[in-house]
Amino acid sequence: MKRVVILGVSGSIGMQTVDVIEQHRDQFTIVAYSVGHNIERLHELLKRWPIKEVAVAKENDAIDLALRYPDVNFYFGNEGLCHLATLAQADIVVNALVGFRGLKPTLAAIKANKHLALANKESLVAGGELVKEALRASKGILYPIDSEHSAIFQCLQGNQTSEVERLIITASGGSFRDRTREQLKNVSVEEALAHPNWKMGGRITIDSATMMNKGFEVIEAHYLFDLPYEKIDTIIHPQSIVHSFVEYRDHAVMAQLGTADMRIPIQYALTYPHRETMKQDNRLDLAALKELTFREMDFKRFPLLALAYEVGKRKGNMGAVLNGADEEAVRLFLNHEITFLEIEAAVKKAVDEVPYIASPTLAQLEQSDALARAIVRAYKKGANV
């Protein structure tokens, strides 16, 4: 019986992780989870899956909940997340947090020698070098949950990374994949959130539309599979059936196909190296597919993807800057404070203005993140930091 901690259980990935575990109660049990600000979801979860260890965002919520649930231990803030990530009774930590705050629990879980199933892309985008260093110095193991990286991981089974010619990460193209840049000038938040293939959270849906999300995935792939950026390509695939390809040096190309269901990569990360039965009816019906199409990535159409390649190659604190600026810019867009195209301009401004640090500490990454956010907020006001 493997004991699981789920960080960010109230989000889409977190709840789908609960679904997977409930399908395999003979193999997994949940021992702790965090819910952030979603206290209503916590009440539902404690009825559905009672546990003894919970982390929330605010101290006041932790105090109030402790009175209501005297048999549960409540923690709060970043310290609470790191506490859950290092619980002695946990075998697997699922990091389904959104944003830069996921980095500290990732590092804590690895240093505590945990099996880490990672959906928090910011851990590698902002702190990839620190994560790799922690993995080298511990017995911690990291498995990807992102569908694209899970696909690559599966296509690599039985082969050597040295035999890989290139990775090809597929992109749906997002909500505006068929619009020109001229047509993007006055798009609404509601239009941007209408992803044609996936049901995701607000930030990742907007990042899909700007292709920033794909840029993050390129940086993640670099750290996960130890390949240079010159060997990591992206391609538009509107149907989101092929989740990624691996091309080998003999020109053989391996692909992983599946429905738009995140429970597939979640389950593989939890059960690896075994494949367990997926009890829900989400099979891919190849005969029903009308077509699978692909088209070349247009970096002029999606400048944030090009910027992500540049940032990834520079390394240092630039990943933290890119992520922090994007988080803040997307927040402003979702709040109707900047336009869709201004997301790009604000992020580029932060990347240009935050001082470069070649080998940053965690504290310096936090400072870079904060400065990037401040520059984006100042951009909205037409001011300088």
Judge whether 213 is annotated as a binding position: yes
Judge whether 12 is annotated as a binding position: yes
Judge whether 201 is annotated as a binding position: yes
Give every CB contact of residue 43 below 8 A, 6+ residues apart in sequence.
none
Residue whose C-alpha is closest to residue 198's, from 144, 247, 265, 246: 265
Judge whether 121 is annotated as a binding position: yes
Judge whether 148 is annotated as a binding position: yes
Rg of the chain taking only CA atoms, in angstroms: 20
Judge whether 199 is annotated as a binding position: no
Are the C-beta atoms of residues 203 and 102 closer than 8 Å to each other?
Answer: no
Judge whether 214 is annotated as a binding position: yes
Chain centroid to Cα 334, Å, comes to: 19
Give every CB contact of residue 303 below 8 A, 6+ residues apart in sequence.
344, 348
Q: Rounded CA gap, 336 and 192, in Å?
A: 12
Helix (H) or strand (E) run with residue 63 in it:
helix 59-68
Cis check for the bond before 70: say yes or no (omega within 30 of 0). no
Judge whether 13 is annotated as a binding position: yes
Judge whether 11 is annotated as a binding position: yes
Judge whether 195 is annotated as a binding position: yes
Judge whether 279 is annotated as a binding position: no
For residue 94, the cross-strand partners are 6, 117
Q: Rounded CA gap, 210 and 204, in Å?
A: 10
Are the C-beta atoms of residues 21 and 30 closer than 8 Å to each other?
Answer: yes
Judge whether 175 is annotated as a binding position: no
The DSSP-derived string for 284-341 is --GGG------EE--TTT-HHHHHHHHHHHH-TTHHHHHHHHHHHHHHHHHTTSS-HH
Judge whether 40 is annotated as a binding position: no
Judge whether 217 is annotated as a binding position: yes
Token duo for residue 226: 């130890």
Are the C-beta atoms of residues 214 and 149 closer than 8 Å to each other?
Answer: no
Binding annotation for NADPH: 11-13, 36, 38, 120, 122, 201
Give the residue ranges of the annotated binding site.
11-13, 36, 38, 120-122, 146-148, 172, 195, 201, 208, 213-214, 217
Binding residues for 1-deoxy-D-xylulose 5-phosphate: 121, 147-148, 172, 195, 208, 213-214, 217
Which residues participate in the annotated binding site for Mn(2+)? 146, 148, 217
